[in-house]
Amino acid sequence: MPWSLTPPHPSSWQVLLNLALAEDIGPADVTSQLTIASDANGHARIEARQALVACGLFVAQEVFRRVDPQIAIEPCCAEADELEAGQILMRLQGGLHGILAGERTALNFLARLCGIATLTRRYVREIEGTGSQIVDTRKTLPGWRVLDKFAVLAGGGTNHRFALYDGILLKDNHIAAAGGVKAAVEMALARAPAGLRVQVEVESAAEAEAACQAGADFLLIDNRTPEEVRDIVQRCGERALLEVSGGITLENLRQYAQSGVARIAIGAITHSAPACDIALELDDRVAC
């Protein structure tokens, strides 16, 4: 594993796991009951069918513990590891009823979380050497935010604020309602709780200048070209931490990073990451 990652506390995602298991299993797995002896045991492997960044192993393990605490679980990689197609994420040994009952739920979690981590890693690699960071947004699957944001970390990205309560970001609608950039920034700074930094969204060099003059030290430059961003960096880069968002793709990402901004916010890494191809297969092998 390239760095140490601490998975989020189970209390933050157990409700989601409970819903997923209830949704998929319901009263019982009727197919297994009809075709497999209740005391049948076996071995299984969860394997990557494509190159990916591993993420969500801790959730998958909890799935199998829930359906059958007697299932022996052997992780074969760690969170944030890069795997090639054919490599094993995890091996299981125990009752086949439990293994098959947990299969789809475990794979659903792994497919999404590995997908986010894998796409994030692509963005992070694309800007290596520029000094910029890839940060996430609140564009997460409802109910999945703590897991989606963990997957961003596994991919090498950085978490932005978690929700509306732990960070102040004055966006266009706040600014319009407050009567302009200057008024919005001054009002937020005067009333902000201790420890919460005030960030303001700007869409021009003039708005960036007004925000800095009002006391903001954290700007989000939205929907500007790399050239326009570079101009704002030259004007305000020594007075504020600068972040950019909007219209950024893997194709133009490095141009934005080379403008000098500290952070690049990418909603796509959570709202549009393709699920990874991961499968569970029964076999007779025991060791990874």
Name all domains of the chain by residue range, CATH numbers in brackets.
Answer: 10-124+274-283 (3.90.1170.20), 129-271 (3.20.20.70)
Q: What share of the chain is helix, strand, coil (3-state, %, to 5)?
A: 40, 20, 40
Work out the pLDDT band at 3, boundaries 50, 70, 90: low
In sequence order, the 6+-apart residues with CB closer than 8 A to the CB of 196 are 166, 167, 168
**Contact call for residues 199 and 170 (beta carbons, < 8 A):** yes
Tell me if residue 127 falls in helix, strand or coil.
Answer: coil
- Alpha-carbon torsion 256, 258, 260, 263, what sign? positive
What is the predicted pLDDT for the residue at 195? 85
Which residue(s) pair with 214 in the sheet?
none
91-145 residue pLDDT tens: 999 999 999 999 999 999 999 999 999 999 999 999 999 999 999 999 999 999 9
What is the predicted pLDDT for the residue at 196? 87
- Identify the active-site residue in 79, 207, 222, 243: 222
Strands 218-222 and 241-245: parallel
182 catalytic residue (yes or no): no
| Residue matched to tokens 């890069």 | 82
What is the predicted pLDDT for the residue at 284? 74
- Identify the active-site residue in 104, 138, 161, 239: 104
Give Cα 198 distance to the centre of its chain.
Answer: 23
Question: If you ran DSSP here, which 8-state letter would residue 9 be given?
Answer: P
pLDDT exceeds 70 at position 38: yes
pTM of the entire predicted model? 0.95
201 catalytic residue (yes or no): yes
In sequence order, the 6+-apart residues with CB closer than 8 A to the CB of 285 are 43, 45, 91
Task: Average the pLDDT over 255-282 and give the result.
Answer: 98
What is the predicted pLDDT for the residue at 285? 60
pLDDT exceeds 70 at position 1: no
pLDDT exceeds 80 at position 2: no
Nearest CA to 276 among 44, 139, 87, 18?
A: 87
- Identify the active-site residue in 122, 139, 161, 254: 139
Distance CA 36, CA 282 (A): 13
Distance CA 37, CA 28 (A): 14
